[in-house]
């Protein structure tokens, strides 16, 4: 195969895809098993030309793609694989470095150190924290809770709000820790007065919860943690990116007292999937939990390898795409994108507020609007299914105080005011049907 010729065709495909992705049905229109049935059950004996991959991508795979790159993707948390990030992924695969230890790729580790310092500065963290990248927030939180468990032997309880992400539940299950759910106030924030730290090794506070993007009171939780010597982990997987804008930093009040923090640049910072930043004030606790250096990886180099701070041995060169995106956007570019996402969500929120027969269901600190039709749960659920089946937009749902709630998340960098306006029109048209 020819890297130059086939590469040019692939790049051409990518450019055309991004130009037309807004016209494709956002949610894949296939039944479970349908894509699988269209694919041969056995691999080819002979080599096939690369062109046949692109052909099958169009003809066989495309119907099974839910278009996360669509400007009308408003479900879960909308993300963006930016152009800079896409090209960085190409170069990453080209270099194919494997960060098992420092000497296996000095640049993988040292670019990661520098880029995490940059990102810390961009989102207003104190200088000097130890940062590294994991594949996703689930692994970042697993790592942080493993460190917390190591730091307080004999204490096996983790406290987190009932609105904390399910990755906290999963980490506790894997680490054999007991998760104690803390009730929330009327706007879905953890209630510090309801924190019981008996037997606890960690508290997880969330800045930007998954259902409503509510913000737990980090400073008040830090007070309680400091009194009891309990590790404070802050999950800001989504909202952490917004901290590039000073006007959102209120949500990080008290952050300097956290023991660890996770922010996902692959969520709202325009970096392709597979890039979660975790910082800690106590790197030695991570090292205690994860360091494992067998004879065949021992070297005389006077340096601690990043694989000693997390569950992975072979680590990908994830920093390259983050570094590329930070440089190609710059602070001002990142701020402008975040502000536009929040502005569009605020517009949508205003339309819902002004429309009789519709209710807002939670405050909107960032770019996610929780709303519902003044109708039964079944009617709201049926509305969501009809809206998504139409293909023009894709939204998701949650449940608040037992009621079914629709959720519109702005976050794709290609989303315009016209896209958000169209979303509201589609939702109202379907509701009227
Ligand atoms: C998205 C999200 C996660 C999970 O992130 P992954 O990278 O998919 O593991 C965890 N916590 C919060 C608050 C999130 O928004």
pLDDT single digits (tens) 312-349:
999 999 999 999 999 999 999 999 999 999 999 999 99
- β-bridge partners, 178: 157
For ligand 1, the distance from its centroid to the CA atom of residue 133, given in whole angstroms, is 14
Question: Helix or strand or coil: residue 408?
Answer: strand
For ligand 1, the distance from its centroid to the CA atom of residue 361, given in whole angstroms, is 22
For ligand 1, the distance from its centroid to the CA atom of residue 263, given in whole angstroms, is 9
Q: How far apart are CA 153 and CA 151, in angstroms?
A: 6
List of residues 6+ apart from 12 with CB closer than 8 A: none
Residue 166 scores a pLDDT above 90: yes
- DSSP codes joined into one string, 132-173: EEESSHHHHHHHHHHHHHHHSTT--EEEEETTS-HHHHHHHH
The average confidence (pLDDT) of the chain is: 98
Residues 220-234: pLDDT tens digits?
999 999 999 999 999
**Percent of the chain whose pLDDT exceeds 70:** 100
For ligand 1, the distance from its centroid to the CA atom of residue 359, given in whole angstroms, is 27
How many C-alpha atoms does 344 have within 13 Å on its Cβ side? 27
Query: Which of 133, 143, 210 is the best mutation target for the ligand 1 pocket, counting ligand atoms within 8 Å of the beta carbon and taking the most?
Result: 210
Residues 134-165: pLDDT tens digits?
999 999 999 999 999 999 999 999 999 999 99
Residue 36 scores a pLDDT above 90: yes
Query: Which of 144, 162, 169, 238 is the best mutation target for the ligand 1 pocket, counting ligand atoms within 8 Å of the beta carbon and taking the most?
Result: 238
For ligand 1, the distance from its centroid to the CA atom of residue 196, given in whole angstroms, is 25
For ligand 1, the distance from its centroid to the CA atom of residue 138, given in whole angstroms, is 6
Phi-psi region of 143 (alpha: psi -120 to 50; beta: other; left: phi over 0): alpha
Identify the sign of the CA torsion 47, 53, 55, 61: positive
Buried-state track 213-239, b at ≥16 Cβ within 10 A, e below 16 = bbbbbbebbbebbeeeebbbbbbbbbb
For ligand 1, the distance from its centroid to the CA atom of residue 65, given in whole angstroms, is 21
Q: Residue 105: what pLDDT?
A: 97
pLDDT (mean) for 99-105: 97
For ligand 1, the distance from its centroid to the CA atom of residue 164, given in whole angstroms, is 10
Residues 364-407: pLDDT tens digits?
999 999 999 999 999 999 999 999 999 999 999 999 999 999 99
Within 6 A (CB) of ligand 1 lie 77, 136-138, 165, 167, 206, 208, 210, 235, 237-238, 264, 267, 276
Strand 157-161 and strand 200-206: the pairing is parallel
pLDDT (mean) for 130-134: 98
For ligand 1, the distance from its centroid to the CA atom of residue 295, given in whole angstroms, is 36
Residues 235-278: pLDDT tens digits?
999 999 999 999 999 999 999 999 999 999 999 999 999 999 99
For ligand 1, the distance from its centroid to the CA atom of residue 237, given in whole angstroms, is 5
Nearest atom in ligand 1 to 267's CA: 1
For ligand 1, the distance from its centroid to the CA atom of residue 267, given in whole angstroms, is 8
pLDDT (mean) for 287-313: 96
For ligand 1, the distance from its centroid to the CA atom of residue 60, given in whole angstroms, is 30
CA-to-CA dists, residue 279 to 126, 235, 252, angstroms? 11, 11, 14
Question: Helix or strand or coil: residue 374?
Answer: coil
pLDDT (mean) for 40-63: 97
Nearest atom in ligand 1 to 235's CA: 13
Nearest atom in ligand 1 to 165's CA: 11
What are the tokens at 192?
Answer: 């510090």
Query: Which of 264, 273, 311 is the best mutation target for the ligand 1 pocket, counting ligand atoms within 8 Å of the beta carbon and taking the most?
Result: 264
Nearest atom in ligand 1 to 238's CA: 15
Helix (H) or strand (E) holding 118: helix 106-122
Q: Residue 1: what pLDDT?
A: 87
* Nearest CA owner, ligand 1 atom 7: 136
Nearest atom in ligand 1 to 167's CA: 10
Query: Which of 76, 133, 135, 237 is the best mutation target for the ligand 1 pocket, counting ligand atoms within 8 Å of the beta carbon and taking the most?
Result: 237
* Nearest CA owner, ligand 1 atom 12: 237
Residue 99 scores a pLDDT above 90: yes
Query: Which of 136, 144, 268 is the best mutation target for the ligand 1 pocket, counting ligand atoms within 8 Å of the beta carbon and taking the most?
Result: 136
């Amino acid at each position: 195969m020819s890297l130059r010729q086939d590469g040019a065709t692939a790049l051409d495909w990518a450019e055309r895809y991004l130009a037309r992705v807004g016209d494709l049905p956002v949610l894949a229109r296939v039944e479970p098993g349908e894509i699988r049935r269209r694919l041969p059950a056995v691999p080819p004996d002979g080599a096939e030309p690369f062109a046949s991959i692109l052909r099958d991508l169009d003809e066989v795979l495309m119907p099974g793609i839910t278009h996360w790159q669509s400007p009308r993707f408003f479900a879960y948390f909308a993300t963006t694989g930016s152009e800079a990030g896409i090209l960085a992924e190409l170069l990453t695969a080209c270099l194919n470095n494997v960060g098992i230890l420092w000497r296996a790729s000095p640049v993988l580790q040292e670019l990661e150190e520098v880029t995490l310092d940059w990102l810390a500065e961009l989102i207003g963290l104190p200088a000097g924290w130890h940062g590294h990248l994991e594949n996703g927030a689930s692994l970042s939180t697993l790592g942080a809770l493993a460190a917390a468990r190591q730091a307080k032997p004999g204490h096996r309880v983790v406290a987190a709000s009932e609105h904390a992400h399910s990755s906290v539940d999963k980490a506790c299950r894997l680490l054999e820790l007991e998760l104690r759910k803390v009730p929330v106030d009327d706007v879905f924030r953890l209630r510090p007065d309801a924190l019981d730290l008996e037997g606890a090794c960690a508290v997880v506070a969330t800045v930007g919860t998954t259902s409503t993007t509510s913000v737990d009171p980090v400073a008040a939780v830090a007070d309680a943690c400091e009194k009891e010597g309990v590790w404070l982990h802050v999950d800001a997987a989504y909202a952490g990116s917004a901290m590039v804008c000073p006007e959102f930093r209120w949500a990080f009040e008290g952050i300097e007292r956290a023991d660890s923090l996770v922010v996902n640049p692959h969520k709202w910072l325009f970096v392709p999937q597979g890039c979660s930043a975790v910082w800690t004030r106590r790197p030695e606790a991570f090292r205690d939990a994860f360091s494992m250096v067998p004879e065949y990886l021992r070297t005389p180099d006077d340096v601690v390898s990043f694989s000693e701070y997390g569950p992975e041995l072979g680590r990908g060169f994830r920093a390259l795409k983050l570094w590329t995106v930070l440089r190609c956007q710059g602070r001002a570019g990142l701020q402008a994108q975040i502000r536009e996402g929040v502005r569009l969500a605020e517009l949508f929120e205003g339309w819902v507020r002004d429309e009789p027969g519709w209710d807002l269901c939670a405050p909107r600190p960032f770019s996610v609007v929780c709303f519902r039709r003044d109708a039964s749960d079944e009617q709201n659920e049926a509305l969501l299914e009809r809206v998504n089946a139409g293909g023009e937009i894709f939204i998701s749902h949650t449940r608040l105080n037992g009621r079914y709630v629709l959720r519109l998340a702005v976050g794709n960098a290609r989303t315009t005011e016209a896209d958000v306006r169209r979303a509201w029109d589609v939702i109202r048209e379907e509701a009227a049907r």
